[in-house]
Amino acid sequence: MQKHLLTMRVNGEQVELAVRPNATLLDVLREDLELTGVKEGCSEGACGACAVLMNNEPIRSCLTLALEANGAEILTIEGLATGGRLHPLQEAFVEQGAVQCGFCTPGMILSSKALLDRNPQPNDEDIKTALAGSFCRCTGYAKILEAVRAARDGDVGNEGS
């Protein structure tokens, strides 16, 4: 099968590689770029485990052909921390106990980031709507909502202060 050139920015780095025309963005991120924070859950776009940001919008990478990302800016969970410091959402998820098995966490955090970037003061309904496509089978969502609220309110990184 003939491969096609894919050029995109992933976590701030320019990437150029040859991909199969039927390769999903999930496959390219996990297999070619070894960004395993992107998870394959249902492979049908229903669980949100594969969520990444493409041009600042959450997408299901299992349903997105890699070539659709040509020229795009992709952010995965690996690119969220900067300078060795966790992003406030990552800190909030840890501090609020919003992670258990962690499988859904990257998609939840990236969907939350997209929400907070476009609406810095979301109410609970806004948060629930933004996370509606991400399923967690461990936490029951209460801690996840608390984490997004804490990040929204700037109430993170204060442990031990």
State pLDDT tens for residues 105-158: 999 999 999 999 999 999 999 999 999 989 988 877 899 999 999 999 999 876
> What is d(CA 16, CA 67) in angstroms, rounded to the nearest whole number?
11
Domain with CATH 3.10.20.30 in the chain: 4-79
Residue 146 contacts by C-beta under 8 Å, 6 or more apart in sequence?
96, 98
> What is d(CA 127, CA 68) in angstroms, rounded to the nearest whole number?
28
pLDDT exceeds 80 at position 75: yes
> Is the CATH number 3.40.630.30 carried by domain 4-79?
no
Section 75-79 average pLDDT: 98
- What is the pTM assigned to this prediction? 0.93
* 3-state class (DSSP) for residue 89: helix
pLDDT tier at 54, thresholds 50, 70, 90:
very high
pLDDT tier at 161, thresholds 50, 70, 90:
very low
Report pLDDT for 159.
55
> Is the CATH number 3.30.460.80 carried by domain 88-153?
no
- Averaged confidence pLDDT in the chain: 94
DSSP letter, residue 95: H
